[in-house]
Amino acid sequence: MLETGFNVDQYNLGLTPLGNAPYFITPETAGGNYYLTAHTHARRWQGVSNLNLRPYYFHGRHDMKVGVDLDRIDYDAQFSRQPISFLRESQVLPAAGTCLTLIPSPCSRYSVFAGGNYSTTYNFEASGYAEDRWLLTNRLLIEPGVRLDWDQIVRHTLFSPRLAGTYVLDNAANTKLSAGVGIVYDATPVYLIARPYAGQRTDYFFNQDGEPTDANGNLTAMPTPVLTTFSADRGVLQAPRFVNWSAALEKKLPSSILLKAEFLERRGTHDFVYNTLNGGFGGNFVLQNTRDDLYRAFQIALRRGFGKRYMVLGSYTRSTAHSNQVLDFNVDNPILSPQAPGPYPWDAPNRFLSWGFLPFFKLPIIHALDLAYSMEARTGFPFDVYNDLQQLVEPPGSRRFPEYFSLNLHLEKRFHAFGYYWALRGGFDNITNNQNAVVVNADINSPQFLTFSGYNPRAFTSRIRFLGKK
């Protein structure tokens, strides 16, 4: 069987401030009109072709599959930025002049921008693969495969072998072992290649008395510019390489409960990251292949089905997601720090998830109602701590948001109307009204340091689904 397809995706993003009032940031809040005007467009043309060959038999059954994937990617961007005034505690933006022209200055830092003119970045990707599902016996399935990748940015032919297998331990198929290992090369992120065209930033610094300093706090005779730029030499870039492997056990327990325990590791080397060659504040940030990543996770899950429609599932995951160079420097990120190791922003060492769809109760007129629920409890995500100069004062991700908990409960009624079947659902998200913060004041110089906010309160939601004819 031959399968072919062609696809075009495009997104357009426009960001336009509502006015031109000067933008400022204090240790507690931000004000004025936003500093950034942005217009970006991204397009992808993709052609795929997959061929499933006839099964053949040689020491078991072989189901071969081969395919190719061709992609053309365009990314257009244009940026314009107004200055940003970082005010000290209890200071206000001057009515006349700027943080740069008034000495003593009310600012701890003043940032101005240049560049960001219209630019276009292209990439062409070509991939091919071959895989075999080899059913050696009724209990043993082996899946070898290989993939080749090339793109016009990295310009290296990448060879990625993979091997997976599944073995059923008993005749009743109640216990199954599976494992796999493979080399994976991530697609080249075009937005990183385009970052040097996004613009540059010049920062000026002032001490508590409003006197000009350099980035390290040393007094200077006049405001001293600290320039931040970005560059990428495509000729020296390598493709980020990841080794993925996993092992899992699945077992059918009494009462039709299915147990699955799985361990997964993803270890990356030569990943892309921007860093200065001298490891200091500001300067020219160069795209390098010096980032190493590690993700490990152990998950145990229980699942129980009830008839054809109903099911309950619960899982617990213990994981870690770290990098030796975790910071993402860009012209719009004001954080000042040398590169440093730490957890990724989505790292959550402990996470429990559960969801289900169950029969609830019957009423005289409404008749049968179903209960749908979902629940998540996890460790809070990490965040960085900085001072009023936006300098990191603690290791990245050294503090975390409070523990997260959310329970969503909904009732659903299925009914027949106008010759079709429908499902009406209504209920509450975060029914316990738990205060799950998404914002924190991480400025150590602020009196409101470690104040959490941005809570999503209990909310009623409803929907109606069209189920078609049955």
Q: What's residue 330's pLDDT?
A: 94
DSSP state of 193: H
Q: What's residue 414's pLDDT?
A: 85
pLDDT string in tens for the chain (470-residue length) = 999 999 999 999 999 999 989 999 998 889 999 999 999 999 999 999 999 999 999 999 999 999 999 999 999 999 999 999 999 888 888 877 788 888 889 999 999 999 999 999 999 999 999 999 999 999 999 999 999 999 999 999 999 999 999 999 988 789 999 999 999 999 999 999 999 999 999 999 999 889 999 887 889 888 889 999 999 999 999 999 999 999 999 999 998 899 999 999 999 999 999 998 776 677 899 999 999 999 999 999 999 988 778 899 999 999 999 999 999 999 999 898 889 999 999 999 999 999 999 887 655 555 678 889 999 999 999 999 999 889 999 999 999 999 999 999 999 988 888 888 888 999 999 999 999 999 999 999 999 999 999 999 999 999 998 888 76
Secondary structure of residue 120 in the 3-state scheme: strand
Sign of CA dihedral 25, 28, 33, 37: positive
Q: What's residue 362's pLDDT?
A: 57
The C-alpha atoms of residue 397 and residue 419 are separated, in whole angstroms, by 56
Residues 68, 51: contact at Cβ < 8 Å? no
**Domain regions of the chain by residue span:** 2-346+389-397
Q: What are phi and psi of 191, to 5 degrees?
A: -65, -30
